[in-house]
Amino acid sequence: MSRQRVFRLAAVLLIATAACSSPDAAQAQDLIRPVQAPGQFAAGTAGNTADEGATLRREIDSLIVQRLREQNIPGYAISVVKNGRLIIHNSYGFQNVEQQRPATNQTAFGLASVTKTFTAFCLLSLVDKGMIGLDDLLEKYLRNLGDEYKKLTIRQLASMVAGVPSNIGEQRPWAQQFDQLVHTPLVSEPGSKYLYSNYSYRLLGSVIESVTGKPYLDYVSETMLVPFGMSNTGTIVTLAQSGLIAQVYGDNNGSVPPHPIPFMNPAAQFSAGMLESTSDDMLKYAEALLSRKVLSPAAYQTLWYERPPLTTGEPSKWAFGWASKIAPLYGNARTVSMNGGVPGVASTIILLPEKNSCVVALCNLRKPPVYKIATEVAALAFGNQSGVPAEQEAEGSGDGVEN
């Protein structure tokens, strides 16, 4: 069967599934898979909100099926929680098109830069334990640094204002590239400019390893994955035998049919982008964050609310893995969010901490319109009271960086 025919079949199945009124029919096709809500998130609603929740779920489902058909997306997973109620927790399409393996809520998609939210969380857990100071100099924790890097602070690195370059040539395993980075000149005066750099968060991963004496992934596991019950989160290496990993695809921004492409090397991505996770696990992650688990109240304040201005006086909206703002698109609620993306990976997490609400979206194809699906879903779920058309605002609402 040709690849084009396979993707036409996937589109037909998505439409057919959307039209099914019977849960058994949907589960039989395994393209839309409702599950019981874990933890605090109650599945369904009561009283007058029951019809509202069901209507919202149908609207979200219809939107996603339409967008996946329009964009020829292989596999996609969505979770939406509104006011502590699980609205939708579904997967669509295929984990592997060539093998005709449907995507499920146990399919492991890449997180890419959403990994940075885990790194920031682990960093602040060490601050809570008194093992790291945010205003400490990097030279306190790492050796063999160039002179400019010695005087960078942990807070500057975590806020992407350290002036660390974003590109120093071909990416190699971090252990091999560390020395190259720390002897590459900074590109701006520390604290003066926001500059997104994966290398800033790789340095923080090295700090975590230095302070704990443990591999980065081991500390993530004991601090987050085990306490949160995230048993199917790891890397393409640690999950290799699970059969859960979604094949990654490229389509040259829609100019060619989606086709399998190579995975990125997790040893190169390290603490800036190495993680894979499932829709089930990411829902547990969102629950843990919205419940303010593990970290102190002060740490959550740093994580989501404190955004000290740059030395120029300009505001800084991004720090510690999250963009933070009041979002007119989502009913003027405090919103913290992050996108992740490398070839074949598009991930989005949007939290409304004061509303006990979230959207988590995972996909095995990256192109700009994929990210817009999550923002459109959030606009449906949380309301657009700004008068700005959802499509217009969603287009430019980066809310974290695709990288």
pTM for the structure as a whole: 0.88
3-state secondary structure of 198: helix
- Provide the pLDDT for residue 118: 98
- Provide the pLDDT for residue 383: 85
Question: Strand runs (DSSP E) across 181-287, as ranges?
Answer: 249-250, 259-260, 276-278
Number of neighbours of residue 228 by Cβ within 10 angstroms: 21
- Kind and range of the H or E run holding 3: helix 3-19
- Provide the pLDDT for residue 52: 82
What single-letter amino acid sits at 378?
A
Two tokens at 325?
């703002």
- Provide the pLDDT for residue 6: 42
Beta carbons of 272 and 198 less than 8 angstroms apart: yes
Nearest to 347 by CA among 277, 244, 249: 277
DSSP class of 166: S
- Provide the pLDDT for residue 384: 60
Q: Compute the residue count for the chain.
A: 403
pLDDT tens across 308-327, in order?
A: 999 999 999 899 999 999 98
Nearest to 201 by CA among 102, 309, 322, 295: 322
Nearest to 110 by CA among 233, 286, 283: 233
Burial 56-82 (b: 16+ CB within 10 A, else e): bbeebbebbbebbbebbbbbbbbbbbb
Q: What ranges do the domains of the chain cover?
A: 3-108+233-305+354-396
Nearest to 334 by CA among 311, 350, 315: 350
Q: What is the largest CA-CA distance in the chain?
A: 65
Q: Which parts of the chain register pLDDT below 70?
A: 1-49, 384-403
Whole-angstrom distance, CA of residue 177 vs CA of residue 179: 6
- Provide the pLDDT for residue 328: 87
- Provide the pLDDT for residue 42: 62
- Provide the pLDDT for residue 248: 98
Q: For residue 234, what are the contacts with CB-CB under 8 A and spacing of at least 6?
A: 108, 217, 225, 275, 276
- Provide the pLDDT for residue 205: 98
pLDDT tens across 23-68, in order?
A: 222 332 334 344 444 555 666 543 456 778 899 999 999 999 999 9
- Provide the pLDDT for residue 1: 44
